[in-house]
Amino acid sequence: MTLTETNYNFPGQTAVYHGKVRDVYTIDNNLLVMVATDRISAFDVILPKGIPYKGQVLNQIAEYFLDATKDIVPNWKLAVPDPMVTAGVRAEGFRVEMIIRGYLTGSAWREYAAGVREICGVKLPEGMKENQRFPEPIITPTTKAEEGHDENISREEIIARGIVSEEDYAKMEEYTRKLFAAGTKMAAEKGLILVDTKYEFGKYDGKVILIDEIHTPDSSRYFYSEGYAERFAKGEPQRQLSKEFVRQWLIENGFMGRQGETVPEMTPEVCENISRRYIELYEHVTGRKFVPAPEQNLQDRIEKNVLDFLSTLSL
């Protein structure tokens, strides 16, 4: 059983937002209840089938890293009332996603291979190869689109257009580099390389804070450290733990989210394979054994756990 849609009506609920993979319920305009569904998206398209345990995996990886980095960067999390739910403060989100890349891969490599030598105002050196490490991690922000594709944008343009103030953007950059350094160190301890990731920030009580998930396979790419150098030297694909394998499967089956293209059939075997890869990543990045929560009556379980949590707030 998978959770692909929710339609709750919690006490004090003032708004609900259904994102690509998360459903976010606003309570009394100051609390967010974020449900990580089993939906999966690629190329900004929500795929037609849910992935077993994906929501639990994402939510619990995010919980792990939010707790591990809260002394470095303040974040929104207050509690995890259910394996698929995080509750926290409601910040005013910035309309920018901070993407930081330690290696040339994925969409950045595809652009580079096509001749692009500047991404988001960051100049890239000549002669780089796929999966090569940058001398220093680069930040390549995107605008956060309400619908459709996010778009690359430079630091200068973000500030010039007033999307984020210069002061707040400088703080977001600082936090992005600190989080990436912490994530890189934690990944290395588990035999992994944190290749690239994205962070989202908001303003709460006059301060910039981290919101949403971090270092999950939906927002990050990991390589296995073992064999990286040998594979790179031979020009071979890296062994990776990320959602990129889903994108590659789609590309191989003729889908990149372009008009007129059809999502290939997601058989039970395909969905189970994706689920196994997500669980594998959870166990690698956290060092913990994945404990599946009961799948029966997912909707009821989540509702009961959230209601129990909300009842404690009014005591």
- Whole-number pLDDT of residue 112: 97
Beta-carbon neighbour count of residue 27 at 10 Å? 19
CA–CA gap between residue 116 and residue 122 (Å, rounded): 11
CB 31 within 8 A of CB 255: no
- Whole-number pLDDT of residue 133: 98
User: Which pTM value belongs to this model?
Assistant: 0.90
* Domain 92-242, second-level architecture: 2-Layer Sandwich (3.30)
- Whole-number pLDDT of residue 148: 57
- Among 18-32, 185-199, 233-247, which stretch is predicted with the lowest mean pLDDT? 233-247
- Whole-number pLDDT of residue 240: 83
Q: Average pLDDT over the chain, rounded to whole?
A: 94
Tokens of 184: 């890189």
Beta-carbon neighbour count of residue 230 at 10 Å? 9
Residue spans per domain, the chain: 92-242
User: What tens digit of pLDDT does each residue of 56-78 get?
Assistant: 999 999 999 999 999 999 999 99
Asked if pLDDT for residue 315 goes beyond 60, the answer is no
**85-89 sheet: strands from edge to edge:** 13-18, 22-27, 31-36, 85-89, 77-82
User: What tens digit of pLDDT does each residue of 85-126 get?
Assistant: 999 999 999 999 999 999 999 889 999 999 999 999 999 999
CA distances from 134 to 100, 105, 131 (A): 11, 10, 9
- Whole-number pLDDT of residue 243: 80
Could you identify the residue written with the tokens 């992005």? Answer: 176
Asked if pLDDT for residue 147 goes beyond 70, the answer is no
CA–CA gap between residue 251 and residue 257 (Å, rounded): 9
- Whole-number pLDDT of residue 244: 77
The per-residue b/e assignment along 179-208, b for 16 or more CB within 10 angstroms, e otherwise, is bbebbbebbeeeebbbbbbbbbbbbbeeeb
CA–CA gap between residue 10 and residue 143 (Å, rounded): 31
CA–CA gap between residue 165 and residue 152 (Å, rounded): 18
CA distances from 68 to 179, 181, 182, 310 (A): 10, 13, 9, 25
CB 50 within 8 A of CB 38: yes
Ramachandran class of 80: left when φ > 0, alpha when ψ lies in -120 to 50, beta otherwise = beta
Q: What percent of the chain has a predicted confidence (pLDDT) above 70?
A: 98
Asked if pLDDT for residue 314 goes beyond 80, the answer is no
User: What tens digit of pLDDT does each residue of 149-177 get?
Assistant: 678 999 999 999 999 999 999 999 999 99
